[in-house]
Amino acid sequence: MFLFIDYIPNVTFSFLPDPKDGSLYAFSDGRDGIKKLPFTIPELVTASPCKSAEGILYSGMTLKVKASSFG
C-alpha cells in the first residue's frame, strides 16, 4: 500500500507506520510531537481520498506486486 499526503506549506510531516498492526503515527516539526492517528493504513486506503479535520488530504492505493518481480 502507498499513502500520499497533500502538501501543506511551511509544515513538515513525517509518517511512521507500525508494521505489526498498520497503526499510523504523525510527527510534525511543530509542537505536537508524535501523535497516533485515529485510523490504520488499510482503513485510510479504503477511505481514500479523504480529508482530515485539520485540512490534510489523504490519498492511498493498494499495489499488488508478484514475488517474482523482485528476483
What is the predicted pLDDT for the residue at 23?
A: 92
What are the residues whose beta carbons fall under 8 Å from the beta carbon of 47, sequence distance 6 or more? 39, 58
pLDDT per position as a tens digit, 27-59: 877 666 788 888 888 888 888 888 888 787 888
In contact, 34 and 16? CB cutoff 8 Å: yes
What is the predicted pLDDT for the residue at 70?
A: 59
Average pLDDT, the chain: 76
* Full-model pTM: 0.58
Whole-angstrom Cα Rg for the chain? 14
Residue in the structure block whose three cell numbers are 479523504: 50
